[in-house]
Amino acid sequence: MPEKIRHAQPPLKFIPPHFNPVFLRLAQWCLPILLRFRLRPWLPAGIARVETKNVETLGKMYQQFQSGKIRFLIAFRHPEVDDPLSVFYLLSRAVPKTGIDLKKPIHSYFVYDRGMTIWAGDWVGWLFSRLGGFPIRRGKRIDRRGLQTAREMLLNGKMPVAIAPEGATNGHSGTVSPLEPGVAQLAFWCVEDLHKANRGEEVFIIPITIQYSYLKPPWQKIDWLLGKLEADSGLPVKSNVIKDLNLEENVEIYYSRLLCIAENLLSQMEEFYQRFYHQKLAEISVDVSASPSQIILARLHRLQDIGLQVAEQYFGVESQGTFIDRCRRLEEAGWSYIYREDLDLDSLPPLKRGLADWVASEADLRMQHMRLVESFVAVTANYITDKPVVERLAETALLIFDVTARLQNNTLPGRPRLGLRQSTVTVGEPISVTKRWCEYEKDKKSARQAVNNLTEDLHGTLQKMIS
């Protein structure tokens, strides 16, 4: 598992945005290096080329924004941790090349998960603040400071605001996870605030997708990765030398190895939870004609439910909602045990401090069950077979690597890079939120339905853009 938290910590403070154009220019200058190398860990990000599509649409929206005619949110897909670099390229390189007359900086404020500073380091919060970022706590029922900041930036900020509506990475370029309603709600609040201020700007959401493809299929690297997963799992290491086979045949060969690895990992984790956490395995309900991948998915969902229950029982959290909902509640529950808002840690006597440290250490350990579940929330039975391409095979293998790395005491993120990639960033057609205001303003029930409808429409748009 990752490096443990052994001591109770002071409360997580809000990190306000302190945008500094000098830091932005420095980041823009460093972008080519950042695309190839991430700062932590010092491993190649491997993005050799960024292709952008429909950029003129975004350029025109910036032009209208700067002339005071509109306000807008950028809602971008977030399959991987490298996505912000692709969005940064879009704004700093692609939009200026459209030839549309725009004032500098062509940039955006952006929202990030407060948890990033926990696993990446406090320096990330310091840097993001100066680049226009501010955090929101995903699992907190009402993050008043974060929401108030987002609302103020949307209403009066000199730049638009960028948010990943999925709330977290899912490791799948080809599948959009269920969206959190925050983007839609913030957009409606912006319309409401504009009405209260007697301002006439129209509010839009601009969907943006990011997809990755390998410049050259990394079969040798995939063979190495699968061999490592086999060895780590205690399976015989196989090796496939790809010759003159077509793409689907190549994927099929490696997919069969991947299924064996997944089945073995599931079996070991099922035994782990039965033996050491005294959990019973309920019968899985699958059709008699179910494929091996469908059976594995059913077992995975059962295991995910068990893992979440183990954590929920410890924290006293109810098992309600989707896996993503349950993960967010557990994250916030765990943080409340670690980052103590109810204690002045500096003035505690040694005994009470020791107990607080014990609680924090155990809470961090229990949260790892949730982290394992979180790694696989987007996995489907047919993700690879529906579109047998090397990218989907590699994405699934890397997700399994993430889990095995956690279980082997490795610090994440430390996944290997399999080859140079191209990032394709596509700008979708703007969605007018102002035109939906009549539906929203009727009453509370109508407002909730309007938020749900907008969230569903945004999800459908993003999924269609990557299909």
pLDDT in tens, 167-214: 888 889 999 999 999 999 999 999 999 999 999 999 999 999 999 999
Contact 353, 313 (CB under 8 A): no
Asked if residue 390 is part of any domain, the answer here is yes
Q: Which of 119-128, 207-216, 238-247, 372-381 has the highest mean pLDDT?
A: 207-216
The residues, any chain, with a CB within 8 Å of residue 438's CB and separated by 6 or more, are none
The secondary element (H helix, E strand) that includes residue 234 is none
Split at pLDDT 50, 70, 90, the class of 45 is low
Asked if residue 132 is part of any domain, the answer here is yes
Q: Single out the residue in 384, 407, 430 at which a domain terminates.
A: 407
Q: Mark whether 172 and 135 lie in a shared domain.
A: yes
CA distance 307 to 310: 5
- Identity (one letter) of the amino acid at 154? L
Would you state the pLDDT for residue 41?
Answer: 41
Would you state the pLDDT for residue 110?
Answer: 96
The secondary element (H helix, E strand) that includes residue 157 is none
Q: Mark whether 195 and 250 lie in a shared domain.
A: no
Q: Over 50: is that where the pLDDT of 453 sits?
A: yes
**Which carries the bigger pLDDT value, residue 410 or residue 231?**
231
Would you state the pLDDT for residue 38?
Answer: 55
Asked if residue 336 is part of any domain, the answer here is yes
> pTM of the full predicted structure?
0.90
For residue 47 the two structure tokens come to: 């993005």
Q: Mark whether 253 and 390 lie in a shared domain.
A: yes
Q: Single out the residue in 365, 383, 407 at which a domain terminates.
A: 407
Whichever domain contains 42, its CATH number is: 3.40.1130.10
User: Among the listed ranges 272-276, 390-394, 412-416, which one has the minimum average pLDDT value?
Assistant: 412-416
Which string of DSSP letters, residue by residue, matches 40-92?
SS-SB--EEEEEEESHHHHHHHHHHHHTTSEEEEEEE--SSTTHHHHHHHIII
**Which carries the bigger pLDDT value, residue 284 or residue 211?**
211
Q: Mark whether 340 and 447 lie in a shared domain.
A: no
Split at pLDDT 50, 70, 90, the class of 118 is confident
- Mean pLDDT over the full length of the chain: 90
Q: Over 50: is that where the pLDDT of 39 sits?
A: no
Q: Mark whether 156 and 232 lie in a shared domain.
A: no
Q: Mark whether 160 and 287 lie in a shared domain.
A: no
**Which carries the bigger pLDDT value, residue 409 or residue 178?**
178
Q: Over 50: is that where the pLDDT of 1 sits?
A: no
Asked if residue 35 is part of any domain, the answer here is yes
Number of domains present in the structure of the chain: 2
The DSSP bridge partners found for residue 73 are 161, 205
Q: Single out the residue in 367, 382, 407 at which a domain terminates.
A: 407
Distance in Å from the first CA to the final CA of the chain: 35
Asked if residue 5 is part of any domain, the answer here is no
Q: What is the pLDDT of residues 244-269, one digit of tens each?
A: 567 677 888 899 999 999 999 999 99
Percent of the chain residues topping a pLDDT of 70? 94
Would you state the pLDDT for residue 223?
Answer: 92
Q: Mark whether 237 and 159 lie in a shared domain.
A: no
Asked if residue 9 is part of any domain, the answer here is no
Would you state the pLDDT for residue 378?
Answer: 77
Residue ranges making up the domain that contains 88: 21-215+421-466
Q: Mark whether 387 and 436 lie in a shared domain.
A: no
Q: Mark whether 126 and 67 lie in a shared domain.
A: yes
- Identity (one letter) of the amino acid at 92? S
Would you state the pLDDT for residue 44?
Answer: 47
Asked if residue 273 is part of any domain, the answer here is yes
Residue 7: alpha-carbon gap to chain centroid: 27
Q: Mark whether 107 and 181 lie in a shared domain.
A: yes
Give the angle subtended at the CA of 13 by the CAs of 8 and 17, to the nearest 5°: 150
Q: What is the pLDDT of residues 325-378, one digit of tens each?
A: 999 999 999 999 999 999 999 999 999 999 999 999 999 999 999 999 988 887
Would you state the pLDDT for residue 100?
Answer: 95
Would you state the pLDDT for residue 356?
Answer: 96
Asked if residue 412 is part of any domain, the answer here is no
Q: Mark whether 168 and 112 lie in a shared domain.
A: yes
Q: Mark whether 429 and 366 lie in a shared domain.
A: no
